[in-house]
Amino acid sequence: MIRRYACPALLLLFAACTKGDKVPAYVLVQGVTLQTDAATQGSARSNVTDAWIYADDELIGVWELPALVPVLKEGAVKIEVAPAVKRNGMFDDRVRYPFYTSWSSTVDLVKTQTRSVAPMVQYNSSADFWIEAFEDAGHLFHMADTTDELIHFTAGEHPELDIEGNGCRGFVLDGSNTHIRFYTDEDFPTTGGPMFLEVDYASDITLTLGVMYALDGLAHMQPYVYIAPSKRADGTMPWKKIYIDLSPVFNSGVTQRDIYFEASLPSGQATGTVYLDNIKLVY
């Protein structure tokens, strides 16, 4: 389904089209692909849902992808695509992702005709990373209850999970184990700039992402984002990706910054399952 979000430039464009003064060419943007240096930047899995699109440096509009974009220009035109994501998984909070580069290319546009482009972006060269990809036997999280564990699922043993790379981690809650919490002990730095947590997940229960910090000498732990289950009505549980904006809390006057994940078995549900992969703090 192709959707768009109108801006003044876009409204003027459509007004011009209806007057018959000009006939647009079209640029088809199916999606945006991320390319990474796997050794230092981790997985290339992304979830770019929208884009700021420019023609010869003029904003054409903010579009939900895939998008068929009318452009009132012809000939050699510079098309630029700036990737955007849903901040904290919210449908109505779409932001240009500060850590992805923009893509641009010169496209030969012809009135009434469609040109397809395939934008590929990278992480900005200035981005720093903390990554837990769950590829190894151990992991970087601490369990609040030492009797709990994050189960290691390997791609070879669990092909049905569609695991990227060699493995992922997860847990199963049931009547004898109804709650779990695990956390980092990194004291993440403050940068004064954007700081996002990227998480790949598949789940049939709500997962809480919380923040831990010290303020005025007191320790605090507070829920920050509730991550909705990815399970569909047909029973499938696909992988999803969420971008969580930690800038407001981690760039405030707090210290000892860390994150935690927490989940409880919902009332009336016999089991609850969560899989996690490619957890990245990008700053």
Residue 131 to residue 283: CA distance in whole angstroms: 12
In this structure, the number of other CB atoms found within 10 A of the CB of residue 11 comes to: 11
Q: Is the pLDDT of residue 165 over 80?
A: yes
Q: If you average pLDDT over residues 167-173, what whole number do you get?
A: 97
Q: If you average pLDDT over residues 264-283, what whole number do you get?
A: 97
Q: Which CATH superfamily is 129-282 part of?
A: Galactose-binding domain-like (2.60.120.260)
Phi, psi dihedrals of residue 164, rounded to the nearest 5°: -85, 135
Q: Is the pLDDT of residue 6 over 90?
A: no
In CATH terms, the fold of domain 3-121 is Immunoglobulin-like (2.60.40)
Q: If you average pLDDT over residues 110-138, what whole number do you get?
A: 96
Residue (of 200, 179, 201, 210) closest to 272 by Cα position: 179
pLDDT digits 0-9 by tens, 43-98: 999 999 999 999 999 999 999 999 999 999 999 999 999 999 999 999 999 999 99
pLDDT digits 0-9 by tens, 239-253: 999 999 999 999 988
Is residue 2 very low, low, confident or very high in pLDDT (cuts 50, 70, 90)? very low
User: What pLDDT, on a 0 to 100 scale, did the predictor assign at position 21?
Assistant: 62
User: What pLDDT, on a 0 to 100 scale, did the predictor assign at position 178?
Assistant: 98
% of the chain with per-residue pLDDT over 70: 93
Is residue 22 very low, low, confident or very high in pLDDT (cuts 50, 70, 90)? confident
User: What pLDDT, on a 0 to 100 scale, did the predictor assign at position 265?
Assistant: 98
User: What pLDDT, on a 0 to 100 scale, did the predictor assign at position 112?
Assistant: 98
Q: Is the pLDDT of residue 13 over 90?
A: no
Cα separations (Å) of 270 from 44, 176, 179, 186, 259?
A: 35, 10, 13, 34, 28
Q: Is the pLDDT of residue 182 over 70?
A: yes
Q: Is the pLDDT of residue 17 over 80?
A: no
pLDDT digits 0-9 by tens, 184-235: 999 999 888 999 999 999 999 999 999 999 999 999 999 999 999 999 999 9
The mean pLDDT value of the chain amounts to 93
The residue type of 31 is G
Residue 17 to residue 14: CA distance in whole angstroms: 5
Sequence ranges of the domains in the chain: 3-121, 129-282
